[in-house]
Amino acid sequence: MLHLAAYLANWGMYQGDTFLLKTDYTIYGDVLYEMLKKDYKNLWTKCRDIDAVAGKSNERKEFAETLTGVSAKIKEIWKGYNASDLLVTKMLMGTYGSILGYDRLVVEGLKQHGISPNFCKESIHNLLNFYLMNKEELDRPMPLHISDGSYTRMRKMDMYFFVRGGALTR
């Protein structure tokens, strides 16, 4: 729970008038319990091959349904707090590493490439298409890449769209 709280704080999710500032870290208990269910085991990137998912329609459909399903469950658990797609996708990215965090700059980058800026099955399918079409570029090491290259492909796509969206706002 503390790891998720620290991760979200690092990504600016404790700014402004958020319900997270009015609670303590235990608010994540029920959500994490849900996210750790075996129903969502295919979202863990260490055992999820995005190449296989992107290239097979049945895998793609299951992947999109599972991601939007866990998102809906999180929102249901936090129904009194009105959790945003931004918060939920940051949690999904930080926990599973299998989707982008739909922040302002990522959304701008998605729009630039004609991808739905809303977190939904259509957007997930479009992201997988984008990955297939731009696989070579996305699989290259990132500039100033000092890690061992262990970023997930979705995390690299998050950085890609963040940079593209940021270029539009300058």
pTM of the model: 0.85
Q: What is the pLDDT along the chain (170 residues), one digit of tens a residue?
A: 778 888 888 878 888 878 888 888 888 899 999 999 998 988 886 556 677 787 788 888 999 999 999 999 999 999 999 899 999 999 999 888 889 999 999 999 999 999 999 999 999 999 999 999 998 888 776 665 555 556 778 888 998 999 888 876 55
* Rg (the chain; Cα; Å): 16
Q: Are 101 and 89 in contact (CB under 8 A)?
A: yes
- Within 10 A of 15 (CB to CB), how many other CB atoms are there? 10
Secondary structure element (H or E) that encloses residue 114, with its range? none
140: Cα separation from own chain's centroid: 20
Domain count, the chain: 1
Distance CA 35, CA 96 (A): 9
Q: Are 34 and 70 in contact (CB under 8 A)?
A: yes
Secondary structure element (H or E) that encloses residue 144, with its range? none
**Domain enclosing residue 138, as ranges:** 2-168
